[in-house]
Amino acid sequence: MRTIHFADANGRDSHVSFVTVRAPAPPLRVAAGKLVAMRRFVVAGEDNTHEALAVGHGSDYGKALIEGDPEVDLELVGRPITTTSMVYLDGDGEVLRFAPEIFEAIYGPDGAEKERRPPQDKPPNIDEEIPLRFTKNRLKRAAAVRRFAFLRSIQLWHTDGLTYDFLHGLAKSLDEADELVLLGGGESGRDPIVFQTNGLPWRGFLEGRVDGVKYQLLLRLSNLELKKSDA
Amino acid sequence: MRYVILDAAESREELYLIRKAHMPKGIVVTHNSKVSSFQIEKVERAKIYGVRRRLAVDQKGRTCARAALTDDGQVLLRAGMTAQGWFDTDGRQVDQKDIAAEDENGKPLELIPSTLGVEQRLEGPIAATEVLDLSLTAVYRIAPEQLDESLSKSLADGQFWRFPFNYRPDYRSETGYLVQNADGIFALVGVPAPAEFLEPQAPPPLGDDDDANDLDFEMM
């Protein structure tokens, strides 16, 4: 079970458990009384792709399709794919035998490449010595809904009486204020939240609800604002 | 074909009618028995902020493509060589038309048609907490074609409205919420997923295997 280290507005910190809040599973798919599942399978051999056939047959490609089934490799087609290993193909389409050089490319909203640089790994920051901290950014719930698309929610979970008191108290104060508070990471206390190395960077807003002794303390995660695209 | 038809239009009015007939169907809702309709455009992160990707480059500086090698090393799967399909527990491929769905109790489920272009009744105003409990699957920026005045005022006042939404026929209906801000009107679509309230004696949570889903695939 993973834990998150965070501190409230008064600098009181705690390591608490968390789980992802999930939508109910989609309905089971069946056919003739048997469960079915989506799987990947082979539809063409290496010599039967559109590109390979176009090169192989040249101007006779259309005729070849009419007269036969050059796009079908009977030995391969329909074969389910289980586990595979990822390989790189070089500019000539051949399997790369040496480790490639890796770059990080930045593309603008218009799809044009803006910058190319050596890759930078992003370490996680949710359970480090420096806790995630409350920022001064607070939003009413309704304002947050109008401004951000919350794509993921995680629920903070107490592990003992002390963490229960801590989390219940925070949930109560946020619920009474009808507010979400932005948490920030890193030394500055303003970095986005990263759950694992090279994980998605999220803006995380803490939301609380209470029902008597029961509570919910939820970290609402967003990396998308509700705005029009300029592209 | 579409461009040939557009070229053949003899007037602006005819052009408008042809364009409208070929537009994808949008969201149609009723509020106090008055109809409002919207064209939809998916909101994508890459189109707002751009995107960051890791590229592999060969010795000549050319960008490498990715492919998959089967575990037995026999087949190199390049782009265009694979597809997805339904398979039963015996490994037999099943036609899409033969597939049905059932709930967790084995009860058959009806196919719910797409709601696009079909009037859906709005419910609300809805509390912000309910919208926050939505497990989002898509966000659309929606452009009004016809907007009821009272709905327009309600959205401008910051209220939220719920409606059934299915982009395509499915065995589960999704839920949409109308939301407005300075950048326009948006439809937030997803599946309601409220969290449980925790009591002081709540048992520890079950293990969470969600880590793998958090990888930034732009970085792969």
Q: Is residue B86 part of a domain?
A: no
* Confidence label for B17 from pLDDT (cuts 50, 70 and 90): low
Looking at residue A206, which CATH number applies to its domain? 2.40.290
Does any domain span residue A103? yes
Mean pLDDT of B170-176: 95
Q: Are residues A90 and A59 in the same domain?
A: yes
Residues A221 and A151 in one domain: yes
Instruction: Please report whether residue B54 resides in a domain.
Output: no
In a domain, A102, yes or no: yes
Domain boundary among A72, A88, A117: A117
* Mean pLDDT on B52-61: 91
Cβ separation B56–A108 shorter than 8 A: no
Q: What is the pLDDT of residue B125?
A: 96
Residue B165 lies in a domain: yes
Counting as low any pLDDT under 70, the low residues of chain A are 231
Is residue B7 predicted with pLDDT exceeding 60? no
Where is the domain boundary, A117, A137, A160? A117
Residue A30 lies in a domain: no
Chain A interface mutation, best of B63, B66, B87, B137, highest count of A Cβ atoms under 10 Å = B87
| CB contact B3 to A (< 8 Å) | no
Do residues A182 and A209 share a domain? Answer: yes
Tally of domains in chain A:
2
Q: Which residues of B touch A177 (CB under 8 A)?
A: none
What pLDDT is stored for residue B73 in this prediction? 85
pLDDT of residue B4: 46
Question: What is the spatial distance between Cα B139 and Cα A228, in angstroms, rounded to a whole number?
Answer: 11
> Whole domain around residue B177: which residue ranges?
17-45+110-192
Contacts of B131 in chain A (CB under 8 A): 145
CB-based contact A90 B58, cutoff 8 Å: yes
Average pLDDT (B41-64) is 92
Pair A17, A111 in one domain: no
* Residues A92 and A140 occupy one common structural domain: no
Asked if residue A221 and residue A136 are part of one domain, the reply reads yes
Of B216 and A120, the structure prediction assigns the larger pLDDT to A120
Whether A113 and A149 map to the same domain: the answer is: no
Helix, strand and coil in chain A, % to nearest 5: 20, 40, 40
Q: Do B77 and A84 touch (CB under 8 A)?
A: yes
Same domain, A73 and A149: no
pLDDT in tens, B71-102: 888 888 988 889 999 999 998 889 989 999 99
Three state DSSP letters for chain B? CHHHHHHHCCCHHHHHHHHHHHCCCCEEEEECCEEEEEEEEECCHHHHHCEEEEEEECCCCCECEEEEEECCCCCEECCCCEEEEEEECCCCEECHHHCEEECCCCCECCCECCCCCCEEECEEEECHHHHHCEEEEEEEEEEEEECCHHHHHHHHCCCEEEEEECCCCECCCEEEEEEEECCEEEEEEEEECCCCCECCCCCCCCCCCHHHHHECHHHC
Residue B59 has pLDDT above 50, yes or no: yes
First to last CA, chain B: 39
Task: Report, as an integer, the average pLDDT of B50-64.
Answer: 92
**A148 contacts A222 by C-beta, under 8 angstroms:** yes
Give the pLDDT band of residue B212 (cuts 50, 70, 90).
very low
Residue B2 pLDDT exceeds 50: no
pLDDT on residue A60:
85
Please give the pLDDT value at position B38. Answer: 96
DSSP state of A69: -
Close Cβ partners of B17 (under 8 Å, ≥ 6 residues apart): none
- A196 CB neighbours in chain B (<8 A) are 211, 214-215
Q: Are residues A139 and A215 in the same domain?
A: yes
A150, containing H or E segment: none
Domain membership of residue B150 (yes or no) is yes
- Mean pLDDT over each residue of chain B, to the nearest integer: 87
Identify which of A45, A51, A50 has the alpha carbon closest to the alpha carbon of residue A72. A45
In this complex, the residue of B44, B60, B208 whose CB is nearest that of residue A2 is: B208
For residue A230, is it within any domain? no
- Hey, which residues 115-154 in chain B have their CB within 8 Å of chain A? 128-129, 131-132, 134-136, 139, 141
Mean pLDDT over residues B133-159, rounded? 96
Residues contacting B20, CB < 8 A, separation 6+: none
- pLDDT of B71 reads 85
Residue B143 corresponds to which amino acid?
A
Q: Check CB contact of B86 with chain A, cutoff 8 Å.
A: yes
Which residues does chain A have within 8 Å of residue B90's beta carbon, measured at their own beta carbons? 34
Question: Would you state the pLDDT for residue B219?
Answer: 43
* Best of A36, A104, A215, A216 to mutate (most B CBs within 10 Å, chain B): A36
Q: Which residue out of A110, A228, A230 would a mutagenesis test of the B interface target, given it has the greatest number of B Cβ atoms within 10 Å?
A: A228
Same domain, A102 and A131: no
Q: Which chain B residues contact residue A199 at CB under 8 A?
A: 214-216
Q: CB under 8 Å, gap of 24 or more: what pairs does B95-100 form?
A: B98/A31, B98/A32, B99/A29, B99/A30, B99/A31, B99/A36, B100/A29, B100/A30, B100/A31
Is residue B27 in some structural domain? yes
Average pLDDT over residues B109-135: 96
Q: What is the pLDDT of residue B154?
A: 97
Over residues B6-16, the mean pLDDT reads 61
Q: Answer yes or no: is A34 within a domain.
A: no
Q: What number is the ipTM of this complex?
A: 0.87
pLDDT at B1: 41
Give the pLDDT score at B209.
54
Q: How confident is the model at residue B206 (pLDDT cuts 50, 70, 90)?
A: confident
Share of chain B above pLDDT 70, in %: 83
> What is the pLDDT, as a whole number, of residue A162?
94
In terms of domains, do A186 and A104 share one? no
> Does B68 sit within 8 Å of A105, measured CB to CB?
no
Domain membership flag for residue A69 = yes
Which residue range is the domain that position A203 belongs to? 3-23+122-225
* Residue A56 lies inside a defined structural domain of this protein: yes
In a domain, B25, yes or no: yes
Residue B152 lies in a domain: yes
Q: Which B-chain residues 4-33 have CB contacts (< 8 A) with chain A? A: none
Last residue of a domain, one of A56, A91, A117: A117
Same domain (yes/no): A111, A164: no
Domain count for chain B? 1
By CA distance, what is A51's nearest residue in B? Answer: B80
In a domain, B81, yes or no: no
Flag whether pLDDT at B9 surpasses 70.
no
